[in-house]
Amino acid sequence: QVQLQESGPGLVKPSETLSLTCTVSGGSISSYYWSWIRQPAGKGLEWIGRIYTSGSTNYNPSLKSRVTMSVDTSKNQFSLKLSSVTAADTAVYYCAREPWVITTFYGMDVWGQGTTVTVSS
């Protein structure tokens, strides 16, 4: 079955750029939307944004100015960059798959295990 694995530095300095990659295994990255979600310790889920395999993106308006997402279909990977990070960006970061058929949303049905990113000097 399809599995997702987040990877990237666990520690990022304030004002620098957080970079994470999600690798899709057991299936193709093509023809799906792929989302990034984060969760500060003890808090709720925050959607960061999504990317389609064509490269089309949608971002959370509250983070839009700092977020860039990309996809590499040849590697079955998609990536997140979050610039100018502060301590408020410390969280567990998840990637997830969004299956859609035309206009039907089938939920975020596959999630990575999450990776903890701490912003600290």
Partner 1 sequence: EIVLTQSPGTLSLSPGERATLSCRASQSVSSSYLAWYQQKPGQAPRLLIYGASSRATGIPDRFSGSGSGTDFTLTISRLEPEDFAVYYCQQYGSSSIFTFGPGTKVDIK
User: Which residues are at the interface with partner 1 (CB under 8 A)?
Assistant: 35, 37, 44-47, 50, 58, 60-61, 94, 103-109, 111-114
Give min distance, CB of 105 to partner 1, in A.
5
> Do residues 79 and 20 touch, judged by C-beta distance below 8 A?
yes
CB-nearer residue toward partner 1: 72 or 109: 109
Give min distance, CB of 46 to partner 1, in A.
7
Give min distance, CB of 48 to partner 1, in A.
9
- Report the relative pairing of strands 3-7 and 46-52 from DSSP bridges: unpaired
Q: In the chain, how long is the greatest CA-to-CA distance? A: 45
Distance separating alpha carbons of residues 61 and 73, to the nearest angstrom: 26
